[in-house]
Amino acid sequence: MKTNFSLLFYMKKQKNYVKGFTNNHGLSIIRPFLLFLVFTIPLYIAYLWSLGRINNNSIDYTLFGSYFSFIDLTHRTDFLVNKEEFTGISLALDFINKVVAGFFIYQLIAAFRKYGKN
């Protein structure tokens, strides 16, 4: 079986770039946390907009507490509305948030592990 070394080199280079960007190769704890917030807050706003929970006239302050349910990776999809009110966009945004949030939580844990080693 022939191995394409240029592809393997390219993939390793991309992995190192992503690790450097997200947590400075395991040396930064703040960067993955800030990136987590930068990505999940707009996803939550887009999720609320896709469900029709955001309008221009009033603010529902109970939605601020629902953000913590939204970033929980194991939350039920119907934590905010009934299953009949979902759209394809809202389910896609929920899935994208689970992937993105899980990735940045992993990067945050990897940085903590680096500082915890003796």
Q: What is the pLDDT of residues 5-57, one digit of tens each?
A: 787 788 888 888 888 888 877 778 889 999 999 999 999 999 999 998 887 77
The rounded mean pLDDT for the chain is 86
What pLDDT is stored for residue 46 in this prediction?
93
Task: Choose the weakest-confidence range: 15-19, 45-49, 68-72, 96-100.
Answer: 15-19
The closest of 39, 67, 38 to 53, measured between CA atoms, is 67
